[in-house]
């Protein structure tokens, strides 16, 4: 008996749902920022003070990747995003996307990749708006105490990657333990 056409979609439901949630939240928040704050609104009164001296809502156009690295290479970064999405699709079996926790991790990652890629294609830069200031200076990360601004897509990418790494290490540890017991 042939499988129902929706059975494949259903198998990866958690991946699709988490990717869509991250993508939609990211795009809705960026649309609000785009329509309500001037570009390069780093400081009050243009920025929105959430917690004075600590947390602000800003509108920054990041033309690079994390921390502005590769600034000016938006087209290349968008191409890299497409290649990454294609690789995830092609490697879905070896990435164990049939496992629910892996679907969650890669759903967050995919939603974030799509959110930032769309920004690069539409605006020519990624809209970053979450801006934190810390009372410590770490020379190689935050020499001014100001953490680089980020967005919901970035959160999805970082959290998805961390979950994937944790799951991978746990899986590897379990495999080593199983080999010892043989």
Domain ranges of the chain: 7-180
pLDDT number for residue 10 = 79
Above 70 in pLDDT, residue 151? yes
Annotated catalytic residues are 128, 154
Above 70 in pLDDT, residue 149? yes
SS3 content of the chain, % helix, strand, coil (to 5): 55, 15, 30
pLDDT number for residue 172 = 66
pLDDT number for residue 65 = 79
Q: What is the mean pLDDT of the chain?
A: 86
Q: What is the DSSP string of 38-52?
A: -TTB-STTTSEEEET
Of 3-17, 21-35, 125-139, the poorest mean pLDDT is in 3-17
Mean pLDDT of 102-120: 96
pLDDT digits (tens, 9 = 90+) for 56-92: 999 999 987 776 676 777 788 889 899 999 999 998 8
pLDDT digits (tens, 9 = 90+) for 14-65: 999 999 999 999 999 999 999 999 999 988 889 999 999 889 999 999 987 7
pTM of the model: 0.83
Q: For residue 131, what is the DSSP state?
A: E
Above 60 in pLDDT, residue 153? yes
pLDDT number for residue 143 = 59
Give residues with Cβ within 8 angstroms of 55, minimum separation 6. 130, 131, 132, 133
């Amino acid at each position: 008996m042939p499988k129902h056409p929706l059975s494949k979609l259903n198998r990866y439901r958690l991946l699709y749902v988490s990717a869509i949630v991250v993508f939609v939240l990211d795009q809705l928040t960026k649309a609000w920022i785009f329509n309500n704050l001037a570009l390069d609104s780093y400081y009050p009164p243009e920025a929105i003070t959430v917690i004075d001296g600590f947390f602000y809502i800003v509108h920054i156009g990041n033309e690079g990747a994390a921390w502005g690295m590769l600034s000016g290479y938006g087209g290349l970064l968008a191409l890299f995003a497409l290649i990454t999405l294609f690789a995830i699709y092609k490697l879905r079996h070896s990435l164990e996307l049939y496992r629910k926790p892996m679907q969650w991790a890669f759903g967050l990652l995919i939603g974030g990749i799509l959110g930032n890629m769309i920004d690069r294609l539409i605006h020519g830069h990624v809209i970053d708006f979450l801006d934190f200031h810390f009372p410590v200076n770490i020379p190689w990360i935050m020499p001014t105490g100001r953490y680089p601004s980020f967005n919901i897509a970035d959160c999805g990418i970082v959290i998805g990657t961390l979950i994937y790494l944790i799951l991978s290490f746990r899986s590897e540890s379990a495999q080593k333990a199983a080999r010892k017991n043989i």
